[in-house]
Amino acid sequence: MLVVMNVHATSGQIEAVCEHISGAGLTPHPIPGSERTAIGITGNKEMIDSQQLELMDGVLKVIQVTKPYKLVSREFKPEDTVIRLNGLSIGGQELVIMAGPCAVESREQLLDVAHRVKEAGAVILRGGAFKPRTSPYSFQGLGEKGLEILAQARDETGLLIVTEVTETDSVSLVARYADILQVGARNMQNFALLTRIGKTGKPVLLKRGISATIEEFLMAAEYILAEDNYSVILCERGVRTFNNYTRFTLDISTIPEVKRISHLPIIADPSHGTGRYRMVVPMARAAVAAGADGLIVEVHCHPKEALSDGAQSLTPKNFCQLMSEVEQISRAMGREIART
Ligand code: PEP
Ligand code: MN
The mean pLDDT value of the chain amounts to: 96
Task: Label the pairing between strands 294-298 and 59-63.
Answer: unpaired
- The finding on whether 207 has its CB within 6 A of some atom of ligand 1 is yes
Q: What is the DSSP string of 61-86?
A: EEE---SS--TTBTTT--SPP-EEET
Can you tell me the distance from the alpha carbon of 136 to that of 155, in angstroms, rounded to the nearest whole number?
33
- The finding on whether 99 has its CB within 6 A of some atom of ligand 1 is no
Mean pLDDT of 255-276: 98
The predicted pLDDT at position 43 comes to: 87
Closest protein CA for atom 9 of ligand 1: 185
Nearest-atom number in ligand 1 for the CA of 186 is: 8
Do 126 and 298 contact (CB within 8 A), yes or no?
yes
**Among all ligands shown, which has an atom nearest to the Cα of 240?**
1
Question: What's the gap in Å between 48 CA and the centre of ligand 2?
Answer: 46
Mean pLDDT of 130-145: 94
Longest CA pairwise span in the chain (Å): 67
Work out the pLDDT band at 120, boundaries 50, 70, 90.
Answer: very high
- Mind listing the pLDDT tens digit for each residue in 206-242? 999 999 999 999 999 999 999 999 999 999 999 999 9
Do 287 and 236 contact (CB within 8 A), yes or no?
yes
pLDDT for 33 beyond 80: no
- Element (DSSP H or E) covering residue 98: strand 94-100
What would you report as the CA-atom Rg of the chain, rounded to the nearest whole angstrom?
A: 21
The predicted pLDDT at position 31 comes to: 84
Dihedral sign, Cα of residue 195, residue 197, residue 201, residue 207:
negative
The predicted pLDDT at position 67 comes to: 84
Q: What is the DSSP string of 252-314?
A: TTHHHHHHHHB-S-EEE-HHHHHS-HHHHHHHHHHHHHTT-SEEEEEB-SSGGG-SS-GGGPB
Mean pLDDT of 175-183: 98
The predicted pLDDT at position 36 comes to: 85
Closest protein CA for atom 5 of ligand 1: 184
Residue 37 CA to chain centroid, in angstroms?
Answer: 24
pLDDT for 184 beyond 80: yes
Question: What's the gap in Å between 309 CA and the centre of ligand 2?
Answer: 5
Mean pLDDT of 108-119: 98
Mean pLDDT of 161-188: 98
Question: What's the gap in Å between 308 CA and the centre of ligand 2?
Answer: 6
Nearest-atom number in ligand 1 for the CA of 208 is: 9
Q: How far apart are the first and last CA of the chain?
A: 40
pLDDT for 34 beyond 80: no
Q: Which of 115, 98, 122 is nearest to 182 (CA)?
A: 98
The predicted pLDDT at position 64 comes to: 86
Question: What's the gap in Å between 138 CA and the centre of ligand 2?
Answer: 12
Can you tell me the distance from the alpha carbon of 114 to that of 61, in angstroms, rounded to the nearest whole number?
50
**Among all ligands shown, which has an atom nearest to the Cα of 190?**
1
- Mind listing the pLDDT tens digit for each residue in 51-91? 999 999 999 999 888 788 889 999 888 899 999 999 999 99
Beta bridge partners of 63: 2
Mean pLDDT of 164-185: 98
Mean pLDDT of 82-102: 97
Can you tell me the distance from the alpha carbon of 29 to that of 298, in angstroms, rounded to the nearest whole number?
37
- Element (DSSP H or E) covering residue 173: helix 171-177
The predicted pLDDT at position 265 comes to: 98
Q: Judging by beta carbons within 10 Å of its beta carbon (0-12, 13-18, 19+), is residue 64 exposed, middle or buried?
A: exposed
